[in-house]
């Protein structure tokens, strides 16, 4: 029931998820760096906001793990071309800190090479990672290791961010360059003016024929499909 409630609270009825043709999950979708102007005209007329996202599951190294405790965990990392726009589309707000800078990198030590990439962490992740550091929750300025890189927290999502509470957000280039997703995205997320407009845009995308076809769902339809897995469990 907890899974169902989480999924039901995810997704805006006016949003649509665009994936590559044949994909049913963004983790297995592969889209090019596409321009809004190349989408069908019927869809362009309905677009209010548009974001490109790349999603991967990466390894988090637990700092100073106790004996018998697993030294690593897998976490969800989402790269975004415009984080502020994506936050508005998904209804995500910050509880503390700020969004990453345009560069998305900051110095964390005295040396010129001692830098870390900037991230915003979901509230649930912040609590879990904070416990690893002996504190209640991560705060801006804390540094964690994900994959081959160091990452510095600049913001923490507010509670109630639905499924994004378990994610880490950063710039799209950081994910693409460090986790084998060069020049590609997993999804385009589009805000339309209403649920009715979203359904029209989904139909137009599914019928759109070009050198690259698309799969599309309303965002609520996409997350509702995930309840099939919980029903099986």
Lowest mean pLDDT among 91-100, 170-179, 209-218, 223-232: 223-232
Alpha helix stretches (DSSP H) within 9-122: 41-44, 83-90
pLDDT above 70 for 16: yes
Q: Tell me, what DSSP letter sits at residue 38?
A: G
pLDDT in the model for residue 61: 86
- Rounded to whole angstroms, how far apart are CA atoms 202 and 193? 13
As a whole-number percent, the residues of the chain with pLDDT over 70 amount to 90
Residues 59-77: tens digit of each pLDDT: 998 888 878 878 888 999 9
pLDDT above 80 for 11: no
- Count CA atoms within 13 Å of residue 160 on its CB side: 5
Q: Which two tokens stand for residue 197?
A: 């407009």
Q: Residue 128: pLDDT band by 50, 70, 90 thresholds?
A: very high
CA distances from 217 to 1, 47, 117 (A): 24, 15, 32
- Rounded to whole angstroms, how far apart are CA atoms 227 and 230? 5
By the 8 A CB rule, do 119 and 153 touch?
yes
As a whole-number percent, the residues of the chain with pLDDT over 90 amount to 52
Average pLDDT on 4-25 reads 78
Q: Are strands 115-121 and 143-146 parallel, antiparallel or unpaired?
A: unpaired
- Rounded to whole angstroms, how far apart are CA atoms 104 and 219? 28
Average pLDDT on 70-91 reads 93
The residues with which 232 forms a beta bridge, in sequence order, are: none
By the 8 A CB rule, do 34 and 54 touch?
no
Lowest mean pLDDT among 69-73, 131-135, 179-183, 196-200: 69-73
pLDDT above 90 for 27: no
Tell me how many degrees the CA angle 151-155-156 measures, rounded to the nearest 5. 105
- Which residues make Cβ contacts (< 8 Å) with residue 9, sequence separation at least 6? 162, 163
Q: Which two tokens stand for residue 171?
A: 């710039």
By the 8 A CB rule, do 15 and 198 touch?
yes
> 216-227: b or e for each residue (b if 16 or more CB lie within 10 Å)?
bbbbbbbbbebe
pLDDT in the model for residue 53: 96
Q: Which two tokens stand for residue 188?
A: 């385009």
pLDDT above 70 for 56: yes
- The dihedral region occupied by 22, where left means phi > 0, alpha psi between -120 and 50, and beta the remainder, is left
Tell me how many degrees the CA angle 26-29-31 measures, rounded to the nearest 5. 120
Lowest mean pLDDT among 158-167, 199-208, 220-229: 220-229
Task: Please provide the average confidence, as pLDDT, over all residues in the chain.
Answer: 87
Q: Residue 171: pLDDT band by 50, 70, 90 thresholds?
A: very high
Q: Residue 18: pLDDT band by 50, 70, 90 thresholds?
A: very high
């Amino acid at each position: 029931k907890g899974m169902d409630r989480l999924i039901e609270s995810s997704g805006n009825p006016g949003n649509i998820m665009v994936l590559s043709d044949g994909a049913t999950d963004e983790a297995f979708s592969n889209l090019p760096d596409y321009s809004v102007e190349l989408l069908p005209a019927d869809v362009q007329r309905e677009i209010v906001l548009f974001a490109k996202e790349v999603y991967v599951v990466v390894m988090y190294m637990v700092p100073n793990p106790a004996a018998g405790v697993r030294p690593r965990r897998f976490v969800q990392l989402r790269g975004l071309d415009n984080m502020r726009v994506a936050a508005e589309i998904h209804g995500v707000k910050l509880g503390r800190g700020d969004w990453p800078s345009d560069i998305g990198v900051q110095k964390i030590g005295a040396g010129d090479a001692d830098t870390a990439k900037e991230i915003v962490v979901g509230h649930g992740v912040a609590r879990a990672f904070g416990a690893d550091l002996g504190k209640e929750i991560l705060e801006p300025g804390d540094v964690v290791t994900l994959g081959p890189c160091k990452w510095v927290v600049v913001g923490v999502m507010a509670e109630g961010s639905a499924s994004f509470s378990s994610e880490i957000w950063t710039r799209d280039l950081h994910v693409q360059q460090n986790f084998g997703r060069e020049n590609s995205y997993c999804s385009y997320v589009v805000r339309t003016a209403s649920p009715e407009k979203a359904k029209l845009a989904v139909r137009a995308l599914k019928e759109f024929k070009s050198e690259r076809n698309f799969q599309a769902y309303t965002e609520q339809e996409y997350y509702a499909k995930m309840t099939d897995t919980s029903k099986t469990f």
